[in-house]
């Protein structure tokens, strides 16, 4: 495997950043994960747009010019022979002696890796659906920034795993579902309306979420952007999550209680099917 680290393509096993990188010291950095399907990086312009927003919010400079990053991403995908899988990129504020305030004159660090995934295994997961465990929201209020500071997400997803679930849902103080540890949350009402939380309110604006809006429009499905409670999700016709790594993935149980008949919903599966026709 090959990784890109600060201007060089190096063997994955020899890919290192400095111990005083601020990503390591302070989680002072941001990232993106893009799906690779049939050799193409899915929704790359949107991912780079969100990266730009994350960097701007944290006053981190682009590590390379915006036009060069797609070339690097494609090159890492190519050098790793990834046709289906994902590409990961991380930008941190750079290397400096530990000091909380922004150091002067550091160059942002850029790391890119790519990994193969088996589309057949993903399809199989979608056929079975996944289980979700709810946990109280305990993250900061800037989760709209795709920061590498993911300790609450790590702990929540670990707790989910220990409970036999594959995703954790962060629940707001008012009882509404925010999002997953690494995905956005959706329900489909008895009337067949898609419901997902507004992206302005304490969630990450998922790229898959945005593209699914277009997929839904193509399929003639209505979307309501509003909060929904755990009880509403449990009683919904269908429930699913979305992310670059899962696309639309059916949820068949919440906190051990089955959703609908406990099987993946047909609308979710048709959204999943149609996704790749719309994504670019």
Among 6, 90, 113, 208, interactor with ligand PDD by CB under 6 A: 208
Quick check: is 146 catalytic? yes
Min dist. Cβ of residue 177 to ligand PDD (A): 12
Min dist. Cβ of residue 86 to ligand PDD (A): 8
Cβ atoms of 171 and 230 within 8 Å: the answer is yes
Contact status: 137 vs ligand PDD (CB under 6 A)? no
Among 92, 147, 183, 268, interactor with ligand PDD by CB under 6 A: 183
Cα atoms in the Cβ-side hemisphere of radius 13 Å centred on 79: 19
For ligand PDD, the closer of residues 109 and 211 by Cβ is 211
Contact status: 229 vs ligand PDD (CB under 6 A)? no
Listed residue (225, 209, 222) closest to 275, CA to CA: 209
Active-site residue, selected from the candidate residues 131, 146, 157, 178: 146
Contact status: 242 vs ligand PDD (CB under 6 A)? yes
Q: How far apart are CA 33 and CA 115, in angstroms?
A: 11
DSSP 121-173: HHHHHHHH-EEEEEEE--S-S-TTS-BS--HHHHHHHHHHHHTT-SEEEEE-T
Contact status: 179 vs ligand PDD (CB under 6 A)? yes
Binding residues for ligand PDD, rule CB under 6 A, total: 14
Q: Which stretch binds ligand PDD (CB under 6 A): 2-10, 107-115, 121-129, 242-250?
A: 242-250
Please state the three-class secondary structure of 165-216 as a single string.
CCEEEEECCCCEEEEECCCEEEEECCCCCEEECCCCCCCCCCHHHHHHHHHH
Min dist. Cβ of residue 88 to ligand PDD (A): 8
Site string for ligand PDD, 24-53 (x = CB under 6 A): ---------x--------------------
Q: Which stretch binds ligand PDD (CB under 6 A): 5-13, 58-66, 117-125, 201-209?
A: 201-209
Among 85, 108, 202, 206, interactor with ligand PDD by CB under 6 A: 206
Contact status: 204 vs ligand PDD (CB under 6 A)? yes
Among 6, 109, 134, 243, interactor with ligand PDD by CB under 6 A: 243
- How wide is the angle at C-alpha 239 spanned by C-alphas 153 and 199, nearest 5°? 55
For ligand PDD, the closer of residues 109 and 242 by Cβ is 242
Q: Dihedral, CA atoms, 132, 182, 279, 36, nearest 10 degrees? A: -110
Rg (CA), the chain: 19
**β partners of residue 240:** 186, 250
Contact status: 209 vs ligand PDD (CB under 6 A)? yes
Contact status: 184 vs ligand PDD (CB under 6 A)? yes
Q: How far apart are CA 37 and CA 247, in angstroms?
A: 11
Contact status: 145 vs ligand PDD (CB under 6 A)? no
Q: How far apart are CA 247 and CA 262, in angstroms?
A: 20
Cβ atoms of 132 and 54 within 8 Å: the answer is no
Binding site for ligand PDD (CB under 6 A): 33, 179, 182-184, 204, 206-209, 242-245
Residues known to be catalytic: 146
């Amino acid at each position: 495997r090959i990784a890109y680290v600060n201007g060089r393509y190096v063997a994955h096993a020899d890919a290192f950043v400095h111990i005083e990188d601020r990503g390591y010291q302070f989680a002072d950095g941001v990232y993106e994960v893009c799906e690779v399907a049939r050799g193409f990086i899915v929704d790359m312009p949107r991912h780079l747009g969100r990266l730009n927003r994350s960097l701007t919010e944290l006053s981190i400079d682009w590590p390379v010019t915006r036009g060069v990053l797609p070339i690097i991403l494609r090159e890492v995908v190519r050098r790793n022979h990834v046709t289906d899988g994902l590409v990961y990129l991380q930008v941190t504020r750079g290397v400096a002696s530990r000091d909380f305030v922004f150091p002067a004159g550091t160059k942002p660090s850029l790391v890119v890796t790519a990994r193969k995934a088996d589309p057949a295994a993903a399809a199989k997961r979608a056929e079975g659906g996944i289980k979700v465990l709810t946990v109280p929201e305990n993250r900061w209020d800037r989760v709209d920034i795709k920061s590498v500071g993911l300790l609450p997400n790590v702990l929540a997803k670990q707790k989910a795993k220990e409970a036999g679930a594959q995703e954790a849902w962060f629940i707001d103080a008012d009882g509404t579902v925010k999002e997953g540890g690494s995905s956005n949350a959706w329900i489909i009402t008895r009337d067949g309306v898609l419901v997902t939380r507004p992206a302005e309110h304490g969630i990450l604006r998922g790229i898959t979420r945005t593209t699914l809006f277009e997929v839904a429009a193509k399929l003639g499905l209505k979307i309501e952007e509003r909060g929904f409670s755990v009880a509403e999700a449990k009683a919904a016709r269908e429930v699913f999550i979305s992310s670059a790594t899962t696309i639309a993935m059916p949820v068949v149980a919440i906190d051990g209680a089955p959703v609908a008949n406990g099987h993946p919903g047909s609308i979710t599966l048709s959204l999943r099917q149609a996704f790749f026709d719309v994504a670019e």
